[in-house]
């Protein structure tokens, strides 16, 4: 099986943002042409993250929630429990995929997942992410280094949306955020939704050999050894 069709899926639960970001950078710096791609599913404690082009005026009143200047694209956003993060660590050169094509496939993945829940969603050419009606339900922000991507997508599932009122989300003063729990009547399990998301990611990104792990790799980019 060609390595470009292999992906390691890591189900990581709740992770500190700074520690996770550091590991993404280390993974990207240390990976080789023979390192399988990885997708990390996780949640973060409450945190605002400011993209490379982020403007300070879009942080209205952070309060006690930390604001972290990060290296992804885009402006300010919020992460917190009940939001599903999928960090996409892909060798784009090996996949022969442009960054624009990756963003499009990530947006399509979210749209496909929401369609499973009978929710009609769409993307915008001028504002990356996924929208339902006039509200935003998912954000996409990436960094490419050495031909490889990291960071990824954030899908609001069942979270406290109030912190979004403390910022101009994604740099838009009047942007209203929404979440799956407000659009779907049945109870939602974030782990189940994460596995459904992975199925659509595998399909849209061309992975036919997913390997599921529940820990960080040791060393970076390799699955844990088995006894």
Catalytic site residues?
170
Question: What DSSP state is assigned to residue 177?
Answer: E
CA terminus-to-terminus distance, the chain: 24
* Of 43, 35, 46, residue with least CA distance to 7: 35
Under 8 Å between Cβ of 11 and 190: no
In Å, how far are 28, 39, 92, 100, 150 from 145, measured between CA atoms? Answer: 7, 16, 10, 15, 8
| Torsion angles phi and psi, residue 152, rounded to 5 | 165, -125
| Torsion angles phi and psi, residue 23, rounded to 5 | -70, -35
63: how many CB neighbours lie within 10 A of its CB?
Answer: 10
Spatial separation of the C-alpha atoms in residues 38 and 7, rounded to whole Å: 5
188: how many CB neighbours lie within 10 A of its CB?
Answer: 15
Spatial separation of the C-alpha atoms in residues 63 and 42, rounded to whole Å: 24
Question: What DSSP state is assigned to residue 33?
Answer: T
């Amino acid at each position: 099986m060609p390595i470009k069709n292999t992906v390691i899926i890591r189900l990581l639960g709740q992770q500190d943002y700074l520690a996770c970001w550091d590991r993404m950078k280390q993974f990207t710096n240390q990976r080789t042409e023979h390192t399988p791609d990885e997708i990390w599913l996780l949640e973060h404690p409450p945190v605002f993250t400011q993209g490379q082009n982020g403007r300070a005026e879009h942080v209205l009143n952070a309060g006690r929630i930390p604001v972290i200047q990060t290296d992804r694209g885009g402006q300010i956003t919020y992460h917190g429990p009940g939001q599903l993060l999928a960090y996409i660590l892909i060798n784009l050169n090996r996949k022969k995929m442009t960054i624009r094509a990756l963003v499009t496939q990530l947006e399509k993945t979210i749209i496909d997942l929401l369609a499973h829940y009978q929710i009609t969603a769409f993307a915008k050419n001028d504002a990356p992410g996924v929208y339902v009606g006039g509200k935003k339900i998912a954000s996409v922000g990436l960094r490419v280094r050495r031909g490889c991507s990291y960071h990824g997508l954030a899908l609001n599932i069942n979270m406290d949306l109030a912190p979004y009122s403390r910022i101009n989300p994604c740099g838009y003063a009047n942007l209203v955020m929404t979440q799956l729990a407000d659009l779907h009547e049945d109870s939602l399990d974030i782990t189940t939704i994460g596995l459904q998301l992975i199925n659509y990611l595998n399909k849209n990104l061309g992975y036919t050999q997913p390997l599921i792990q529940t820990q960080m790799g040791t060393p970076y980019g390799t699955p844990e050894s088995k006894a």
